[in-house]
Amino acid sequence: MDTFEAIKKRRSVKSFDINHKMTRDEITKILESAILSPTSYNIQNWRFVIVTSQEIKDKISELSHGQKQVSEASLVIVLCGDLNSWDKNPERYWKNIPEEPRSMLVDSLRNSYRDKPQMQRDEAMRSCGMAAQTIMLAAKSMGYDTCPMKGFDYDKVGKLINLPDDHIIVMMVVVGKASKQAPPRGGQLPLSEISFKNHF
């Protein structure tokens, strides 16, 4: 499936075949695509908690107001942001470039994020948002369906997955084989209403 077809066919599916199990190779393929998503300064600040345990999926479903797609899907991906990734051995983000420009990038990175908690959080949100879209499109191209989710108890899910203190949960994406297709799209706004040339 090409990229444009995957974009058109991607929908937020709410019903999955609970008996379908994704292979380890399939899950790895999706994650290998996700880590190619862009991040500012290449800090790769997303962290992916891959939940395949039915027991844990059921617990997350309870913490998601009983939404059944969480327990039915083959896997739940909890997308988290490492708020301090900018200061955790950042030289490794540019290990393939010469030392002088690498050192300049490290200095610039630290100056950009040091003592700026809102910037750190904003960057995690941007990074995980782009990774989530990559996950959904990769899954669709492989014949799977997804549902991005924000309706859950973030604090309790964080405790369930042992979220580190310097991380935040941004969102979840569930992945699996649809047992019921999504209804027709509710309605897209016309480009003339949401697209502007050069300025508003």
Domain ranges across the chain: 3-194
**Among the listed residues 77, 7, 139, the one whose alpha carbon sits nearest the alpha carbon of residue 69:** 77
pLDDT for position 182: 92
Alpha helix ranges (H) inside the chain: 3-9, 24-34, 54-62, 68-72, 99-113, 117-141, 154-160, 191-194
CA–CA distance, 130 with 148 (Å, rounded to integer)? 12
Q: Which two tokens stand for residue 31?
A: 């994650």
pLDDT, mean of each 10-residue run, the chain (200 residues): 94 97 98 98 98 98 98 98 97 96 96 97 98 98 98 98 98 98 93 96
37 in Cβ contact with 137 (< 8 Å): no
Q: Could you count the other beta carbons within 10 Å of the beta carbon of residue 130?
A: 15
Q: What's this model's pTM, rounded to 2 decimal places?
A: 0.96
pLDDT for position 48: 98
pLDDT for position 42: 97
CA–CA distance, 140 with 177 (Å, rounded to integer)? 10
CATH code of the domain occupying 3-194:
3.40.109.10
pLDDT for position 109: 96
172 in Cβ contact with 79 (< 8 Å): yes
pLDDT for position 19: 97
Sequence-distant (6+) residues with CB within 8 A of 130 are 37, 38, 39
Q: What is the largest CA-CA distance in the chain?
A: 55
